[in-house]
Amino acid sequence: MLRLSGLGVVGAALAACVAPDGASSGDAGTAAQEPVGIIATTQMPVNTFDNSIERSLEQLPNIALEVNANGWGGGGWDGYSDTLLTRIAGGEQIDVIMIAIEGLGLLAAKNVLVPLDGFIQADPEAEEILMNDVHVTLREMLQVDGQQMEYPFSWNNMVMYYNTAVFEEVGLEPPANDWNWDDFLEACLAVARVTGGADDRFAYSFWGGGMFGMAAWYFNNDTSPLSEDWLESNVLDPKVLETLQFLADLILVHKVAPNPEGWDEWAQFHAGNLVMRTCGRWCIGGSLEADFTTYNIQYQPHQAGPIRTVAGTDGWGISTSSENPDEAWEVVKLLSGTDASLDMVQLGGNIPALRSVAEMPLFADYGPANTALFYETLDFAATVPSPPNFNAVEPILNRNYATIWNGEKSVEEAMQAAHDELVPEMAKLQG
């Protein structure tokens, strides 16, 4: 019996060896159709791309697309970049990377991104969109040494969100688009109700230290915490000190702003306990979720120099570790396209890089009355300071800002301490 079984096995093996060509080629055909796995990672809520994954099944049948979230790592773009690099160093497969200008220099310096110029030149449609439907400022923000490292997807500037109901309640006119710091302070004093009780209402809350949030104030006072080439510390500039003193006074002297450390700006704004906040378009998402509608937006108040708004762009790029860069490029186009942009707009996310989408009526539908302001500012937008060592610079500034907001150090002392830390850090870029 065993002998018979053995003969059967040998027979089956021989039969397999001499199987007709059609059968084996059919297997090979199945293997060839096996989709290529492409993994994209993003800082946005991953549900932003649920519809894109659905579309990929139809439009890119040879690709199995996965979009996963890359954590903020307890910080902003600095933490995001660190988490991303750690994942890549750990050998994790990441083919397509979303990164903003703040982390782009670091990733480029670490040779994590493939320049996209070759892909773009070989793809006239993508080149046409990039050249004609994306503002030059956004396009150039994602270039390093003249090479396009990311394909722009979305961007943000910082505007002042304000609670229209509270302004009405205290008899204040909506802020004008040329309001200055004095006007802003006047509005703060008018709307704040702070007694240390449960029904406190703060006039304004700002990011404690995020580069993007602080740049919105610095730029409107014609200064920046770094030199124009982002290679040197500029925190001892009198205008930087003036800006910080103005913000510190809101907390410590006028008592119209809370210490931003630990303060939940989102919840308090929607609860009516915070009247004004500086934020980008992504804050609309929270308001949509909370069904909060009594707000509008205005430019940041201005103090000195030309009117400027801070802007930062993000986009999709291809990882040098990707084994399938051609498929990754197809995914980059899918995730940067009109449909993906519309999905983001409807969730209250960033401003789309595609002008054609920003000009659609839908863009205005998902935002406050002044929504047009978002895209209008691009012509006088300045890029958020984003040196390649952004992940080191931002924490240095944050640590030292915190000692101003709690009143433990004067603005001068804190910035001297920051400067002392920044000088050796920035020197690494020059060496």
Partner 1 sequence: MATADLSAPGGFRRRFSIAHWGIAGREALAGYLFTAPALIGLLSFTALPIVASLVLIFLNYDLLTPPTWASGSNISRLFDDSRMLIIYRNTVQLVAGATFLNNVLGLLLAVGLNRSMPWILRYILRTSIFFPVLTTTASLAVVWRFLLTQDRGVVNFLLGQIGLDPVPWLSSSRWALISATIYDVWKSCGFLMVIYLAGLQGIPVVYYEAARIDGAGRLQQFRNVTLPLISPTAFFAVVISLIGAFQIFDNVWVLTSGGPGDASRTITMYIYEKAFRGFEMGYASAVSFTLFMVLICLTLGQFWVARRWVHYE
- What secondary structure letter does DSSP report for 383? E
Is the CB of residue 374 less than 8 Å from the CB of residue 135?
A: no
Using CB under 8 A as the binding rule, whether residue 405 contacts partner 1 is answered as yes
Please state the closest distance from residue 417 (CB atom) to partner 1, in A: 8
Cα–Cα distance for residue pair 392/160, rounded to 1 Å: 28
Binding segment toward partner 1, per CB under 8 A, in 68-76, 147-155, 211-219, 275-283 = 68-76
Using CB under 8 A as the binding rule, whether residue 43 contacts partner 1 is answered as no
Q: In this structure, what token pair is assigned to residue 66?
A: 């996965």
Please state the closest distance from residue 78 (CB atom) to partner 1, in A: 7
Using CB under 8 A as the binding rule, whether residue 111 contacts partner 1 is answered as yes
- What secondary structure letter does DSSP report for 115? -
Cα–Cα distance for residue pair 209/206, rounded to 1 Å: 8
Identify which of 149, 126, 147 has the alpha carbon closest to the alpha carbon of residue 315.
149
> For residues 165, 171, 174 and 176, what is the CA-based torsion angle, rounded to 10 degrees?
-160
Using CB under 8 A as the binding rule, whether residue 20 contacts partner 1 is answered as no
Q: In this structure, what token pair is assigned to residue 98?
A: 């979303």
Please state the closest distance from residue 397 (CB atom) to partner 1, in A: 12
Residue 256 CB coordination number (10 Å): 24
Binding segment toward partner 1, per CB under 8 A, in 39-47, 159-167, 299-307, 399-407 = 399-407
SS3 for 161?
Answer: strand
Among 78, 150, 314, 343, binds partner 1 (CB under 8 A): 78
Using CB under 8 A as the binding rule, whether residue 315 contacts partner 1 is answered as no
Binding segment toward partner 1, per CB under 8 A, in 85-93, 213-221, 296-304, 333-341 = 85-93
Among 399, 410, 416, 429, binds partner 1 (CB under 8 A): 399
Cα–Cα distance for residue pair 235/412, rounded to 1 Å: 9
Among 273, 303, 371, 377, binds partner 1 (CB under 8 A): 273
Please state the closest distance from residue 342 (CB atom) to partner 1, in A: 33
Cα–Cα distance for residue pair 349/45, rounded to 1 Å: 9
Cα–Cα distance for residue pair 137/31, rounded to 1 Å: 45
Cα–Cα distance for residue pair 57/112, rounded to 1 Å: 28
Across 174-226, the runs of DSSP E, i.e. the strands, are 202-205
Of 96 and 108, which CB lies nearer to partner 1 in the complex structure?
A: 108
Provide DSSP, 28-43.
HHHHHTSPEEEEEEES
- What secondary structure letter does DSSP report for 406? T
Using CB under 8 A as the binding rule, whether residue 264 contacts partner 1 is answered as yes
Using CB under 8 A as the binding rule, whether residue 266 contacts partner 1 is answered as no
Using CB under 8 A as the binding rule, whether residue 103 contacts partner 1 is answered as no
Binding segment toward partner 1, per CB under 8 A, in 78-86, 142-150, 157-165, 227-235 = 78-86
Site string for partner 1, 193-222 (x = CB under 8 A): ---xxx-x-x--------------------
SS3 for 431?
Answer: coil
Is the CB of residue 304 less than 8 Å from the CB of residue 242?
A: no
Of 89 and 131, which CB lies nearer to partner 1 in the complex structure?
A: 89
Among 7, 10, 89, 189, binds partner 1 (CB under 8 A): 89
Which residues, in sequence order, are bridge partners of residue 310? 382
Using CB under 8 A as the binding rule, whether residue 71 contacts partner 1 is answered as no
Which residues form the interface with partner 1 (CB under 8 A)? 73-75, 78-79, 82, 85-86, 88-89, 110-112, 196-198, 200, 202, 258-259, 261-264, 268, 273, 391-392, 395, 398-400, 402-403, 405-406, 408-409
